[in-house]
Amino acid sequence: MTLRRLDFRTAGESHGKGLVALMEGVPAGLPLETARDVDPELTRRQAGYGRGRRMKIESDRAELLSGVRLGETLGSPLAMVVWNRDWENWTTAMAHLPPEPDENPKALRRMYLPRPGHADLVGVLKYGREDTRDILERASARETAARVACGAVAKRLLGELGIRVGSFVRSIGAVEADEPEELPEDLNAASDASPVRALDEDAASAMMEAIDRAKEAGDTLGGTFQVVATGVPVGLGAHVSWDRKLDGRLAGAVASIQAIKGVEVGAGFQGAATPGSEVHDAIYRDPDRIRSGGFRRGTNRAGGLEGGITTGEPVVVRAAMKPISTLMKNRLPSVDLRTGEAREAATERSDVCAVPAAAVVGEAMVALVLADAVLEKFGGDSLVELRRNFDGYLAYLSQRGTGDG
C-alpha cells in the first residue's frame, strides 16, 4: 500500500546512527519549523507509562536536511534525521565495516534465540541471515520516530485547512476506560495529561497498576487506542475502486504500525452483532454543517466513512496492539538458530507497554493518509493553491447547504 500524492519513506536501525524520514509531495509555502511543529510530536511519542530505559537516553529531535527555506517548505523533497543518542554505545555492534578479527564477539551483540511474536525468526529465514539482530534492528518500533516526524508535517498541512488529528487510549491489558459521551474539544490536551493517555482517571490508575504488575512479573501488556480526526470535509476517498476507498487506506496504514493486530473503523466489530437499525447513522438536514454538505448525523458509528468516502463527521479509527514480544521472565520456548537446540527466547532492554506511544504513531499514520487524500482531491503545488481549491469546494458545499444548489 502506498500513498498517492504524499509519499514518505523511512530508513534507519534502532541502534544505528539515526532514523531518516523522506517526504515528497508537500506543497510549497507551508510554514514549517521542526522545533515548533515536529519535535513536540516526537516528545509525545517518547512518553507514556510503561516505556523502558531507552527513552531516558533518547531525546528525539528532527534535523532538517532539505525541503525548507526561511521557515517555509519549497515543494521539494523534505529530508529529516532523528539522531539516536544510544548509537554511541553501539558503534561496534552496528558498524558498517566488517569487525576486526580480534574483536570481542560479545561486543557484536549477535542474537540467535528468536522471540515468539517478533520478526526475528521469519526475518532470518526470509533474508538468509543467521544473526536475528540483522532483522530486529529494523523491525523495531524505534522506526516509528521517523513516521511521527513525517506525520507531524502532515498534521501541519491538515491544520492549515482546519483538520485536527488526536488520539486516546481505550484499554491496556484487561483494563478498559469509560469513554466520555462527548470527546474533549482539544482531545490531545486531555489525553496527553494522563500518563497512559486515557480519558478516564480511575481506569488510568488501574492501567498503571496493571503495567506495574506486568513489569514485576517480567511480562508485557498490549491494549487498544482510538484516533479521531475532526474537520475532515465530506468527499475524501472514493467508492469507485477498491484501492481508492479511504477506509481501506486508513486501516492498512494503521495495521502497518509495529505490533498492531487489529483495526476498526468507527464501531467496527461491535456493529456486526447489532441490527442495522441500531448501527447506521440517521441523516438530518443542517445547513450550518458546511463540511458535511449541509447534513448532520444522529450518531457516528460509521466512523466518518461511508462507501470509502468521508462523511464530514469525525474520522474514527481504532486499533489493537498486541503485547510487546520481548519478555524479561517466563520467556517462551524458542530454538537456538546455531545448534537447533530448544532454548528460551532472547531478552534485551525493552518496554513493558507502549500503547500510549502507539496511539501517537496512529495519529501520524492517519494524518499522512488524510493529507494524501486531501492532496488527491484538491491538488495544488503551493499551500495557496491548495487552500484556494479547498475553499472553492467549501463554497460549493455551502451553496448546497442552502438548498439552492
Taking the C-alpha atoms of residue 380 and residue 73, their distance in angstroms, rounded to an integer, is: 13
Of residues 12 and 268, the one with the C-beta less far from ligand EPS: 12
Q: How far is the CB of 322 from ligand EPS (least distance, A)?
A: 12
141 counts as binding ligand EPS under rule CB under 6 A = yes
Taking the C-alpha atoms of residue 374 and residue 291, their distance in angstroms, rounded to an integer, is: 13
Q: Binding to ligand EPS (CB under 6 A): which residues in 300-339?
A: 324, 326
Q: How far is the CB of 284 from ligand EPS (least distance, A)?
A: 44
Beta bridge partners of 334: 343
Number of Cβ atoms within 10 Å of the Cβ of 404 = 6
Binding ligand EPS (rule: CB under 6 A), the pick from 52, 123, 262, 287 is 52
E runs forming strands in 118-193: 164-172, 175-176
Assigned C-alpha cell, 317: 479509527
- Helix, coil or strand: residue 38: helix
The length of the chain is 405
What mask, x for binding ligand EPS by CB under 6 A, covers residues 344 to 363? -----xxx------------
Q: Which stretch binds ligand EPS (CB under 6 A): 136-144, 165-173, 270-278, 363-371?
A: 136-144
Of residues 32 and 358, the one with the C-beta less far from ligand EPS: 358
Of residues 28 and 321, the one with the C-beta less far from ligand EPS: 321
Of residues 323 and 401, the one with the C-beta less far from ligand EPS: 323
Q: Binding to ligand EPS (CB under 6 A): which residues in 244-273?
A: 258
Taking the C-alpha atoms of residue 270 and residue 124, their distance in angstroms, rounded to an integer, is: 38
Of residues 14 and 73, the one with the C-beta less far from ligand EPS: 14
Axis-axis angle for helices 383-401, 144-160 (nearest 10): 60
CA distances in angstroms from 129 to 17, 90, 100, listed in the order given: 22, 20, 20
368 counts as binding ligand EPS under rule CB under 6 A = no
Q: Which stretch binds ligand EPS (CB under 6 A): 93-101, 138-146, 270-278, 296-304?
A: 138-146
What mask, x for binding ligand EPS by CB under 6 A, covers residues 68 to 97? ------------------------------
Taking the C-alpha atoms of residue 43 and residue 37, their distance in angstroms, rounded to an integer, is: 11
Q: How far is the CB of 385 from ligand EPS (least distance, A)?
A: 37
Q: How far is the CB of 14 from ligand EPS (least distance, A)?
A: 5
145 counts as binding ligand EPS under rule CB under 6 A = yes
The answer to whether 7 touches 155, Cβ cutoff 8 Å, is no
Q: How far is the CB of 326 from ligand EPS (least distance, A)?
A: 6
Binding ligand EPS (rule: CB under 6 A), the pick from 142, 170, 245, 318 is 142
Of residues 106 and 273, the one with the C-beta less far from ligand EPS: 106
Q: How far is the CB of 357 from ligand EPS (least distance, A)?
A: 6
Q: Binding to ligand EPS (CB under 6 A): which residues in 54-73?
A: 54
Assigned C-alpha cell, 227: 484516533
Taking the C-alpha atoms of residue 334 and residue 114, their distance in angstroms, rounded to an integer, is: 6
Q: How far is the CB of 132 from ligand EPS (least distance, A)?
A: 11
Q: How far is the CB of 351 from ligand EPS (least distance, A)?
A: 5
Taking the C-alpha atoms of residue 174 and residue 83, their distance in angstroms, rounded to an integer, is: 36
Q: How many residues bind ligand EPS (CB under 6 A)?
A: 14
Phi-psi region of 12 (alpha: psi -120 to 50; beta: other; left: phi over 0): left
140 counts as binding ligand EPS under rule CB under 6 A = yes
**CA within 13 Å, CB half, 119:** 15
14 counts as binding ligand EPS under rule CB under 6 A = yes
Assigned C-alpha cell, 306: 461511508
Q: How far is the CB of 211 from ligand EPS (least distance, A)?
A: 15
The answer to whether 236 touches 309, Cβ cutoff 8 Å, is yes
Rg of the chain over Cα atoms, rounded to whole angstroms, equals: 22
The answer to whether 351 touches 306, Cβ cutoff 8 Å, is no
Taking the C-alpha atoms of residue 354 and residue 50, their distance in angstroms, rounded to an integer, is: 6
Of residues 261 and 349, the one with the C-beta less far from ligand EPS: 349
Choose among 219, 170, 116, 169: nearest CA to 356: 169
Residues that bind ligand EPS (CB under 6 A): 14, 52, 54, 140-142, 144-145, 258, 324, 326, 349-351
